Amino acid sequence: MRWLVLAALVCGLSAVGGHAFAEQPQDWALGLQPAATHIREMIGSFHHELLIIITVITLFVTVLLLYVIVRFRKAANPTPSKRTHNTLIEIVWTVVPVLILMFIAIDSFKLLYAEDVVPDADLTIRVTGHQWNWSYGYDSPKGKFEFTSLPLSDDEDKAKGLPRLLGTDTQLVLPVNTTVRFIVTSTDVIHDFTVPAFGFKIDAVPGRANETWTKVEKEGTYYGQCSELCGSGHYFMPIMVKVVSKEEFKKWLDKAHDEYAALPTPSGATQLADAGLTR
């Protein structure tokens, strides 16, 4: 009983302790970082499902191998069998793996489809990769605007209490519980727009408009990085995302328009807008 209470206490404490940093990986944690979207939860359960399947298969093969090593060693089995075929067992070891793969394929395709098909979006944001920073373009009721998000130095990260190499001066701001579509492109080389807690990863390719989407269910600050080796500053291309309430987002959109709309556009993302690739 005492152990149960202690275990419950430890679980409770770690849950509370983990909550403060729920949006990013924690030291000594196991598994994937906490999910902030339904898609990321689906990725998590698929990951666990595969982990169980691969563990069972590995244990089965290990036990089989150990059995063969012991049972058919020279001392225990001096005259080996000359058998070369066994129809039943050959059918079994062909069909069973096929069935396992089909089972995995069904869940895998479900997940791929959910990630790939962009639902009706309430908001479209243009994301452009540059060597080496990201810029974000929004449509506000007052008009379009775009701004650059520059990485902070180590000292600035430390001063602001942000995780090292992940802080930025301006952030990608998203409203909570809203379907957001991202149109992703690049002005120079291939980058990759990735936020692990949201479960998307999409290449930013010069001359192409790729799209992905997300619907974040929890307010907070999230971090991502460029995930395609894009040059010497690749490590220094953080994506810092602030997810705020819908009201706060409206206020921010208004303020951000006044702040950024007058500035020269940092990238070719407006070309996408002009080409009608936004809504």
E strand residue ranges, 176-228: 180-186, 191-195, 200-204, 210-214, 220-225
Q: Is 202 in the site for Cu ion (CB under 5 A)?
A: no
Angle ∠(214,217,219) on CA atoms, nearest 5: 110
Q: How far is the CB of 177 from Cu ion (least distance, A)?
A: 29
Is it true that the peptide bond before 132 is cis, omega within 30 degrees of 0?
A: yes
Residues touching Cu ion, count (CB under 5 A): 4
Q: Indicate the residue among 34 and 167 with the shorter CB distance to Cu ion.
A: 167
Task: Supply 270's token pair.
Answer: 């407006």
Residue with tokens 């000359």: 82
Angle, in degrees to the nearest 10, between helices 87-116 and 38-71: 160
Instruction: Return the closest-CA partner of residue 193 out of 140, 256, 269.
Output: 269
Q: Indicate the residue among 141 and 207 with the shorter CB distance to Cu ion.
A: 207
Q: Indicate the residue among 119 and 233 with the shorter CB distance to Cu ion.
A: 233
Q: Is 230 in the site for Cu ion (CB under 5 A)?
A: yes
Q: How far is the CB of 130 from Cu ion (least distance, A)?
A: 8
Q: How far is the CB of 182 from Cu ion (least distance, A)?
A: 15
Q: Is 195 in the site for Cu ion (CB under 5 A)?
A: no
Q: Indicate the residue among 145 and 193 with the shorter CB distance to Cu ion.
A: 193
Judge contact between 190 and 206, C-beta under 8 A. Answer: yes
Q: Indicate the residue among 256 and 269 with the shorter CB distance to Cu ion.
A: 269
Q: Indicate the residue among 202 and 244 with the shorter CB distance to Cu ion.
A: 202
User: Within 10 A of 238 (CB to CB), how many other CB atoms are there?
Assistant: 24
Give alpha helix (H) positions in the chain. Answer: 2-19, 38-71, 87-116, 154-160, 246-260, 269-274
Position among 191, 224, 249, 265 found at the interface with Cu ion (CB under 5 A): 191
Q: How far is the CB of 118 from Cu ion (least distance, A)?
A: 23
Choices 104-112, 138-146, 160-168, 187-195 (CB under 5 A): range interacting with Cu ion: 187-195
Q: Is 130 in the site for Cu ion (CB under 5 A)?
A: no
Choices 81-89, 193-201, 230-238, 243-251 (CB under 5 A): range interacting with Cu ion: 230-238
Q: How far is the CB of 265 from Cu ion (least distance, A)?
A: 20
Judge contact between 197 and 36, C-beta under 8 A. Answer: yes
Judge contact between 118 and 212, C-beta under 8 A. Answer: yes
Q: Indicate the residue among 34 and 238 with the shorter CB distance to Cu ion.
A: 238
Task: Supply 34's token pair.
Answer: 């906490």
Q: Is 237 in the site for Cu ion (CB under 5 A)?
A: yes
Q: Is 226 in the site for Cu ion (CB under 5 A)?
A: yes
Q: How far is the CB of 133 from Cu ion (least distance, A)?
A: 9
Q: Which residues bind Cu ion (CB under 5 A)?
A: 191, 226, 230, 237
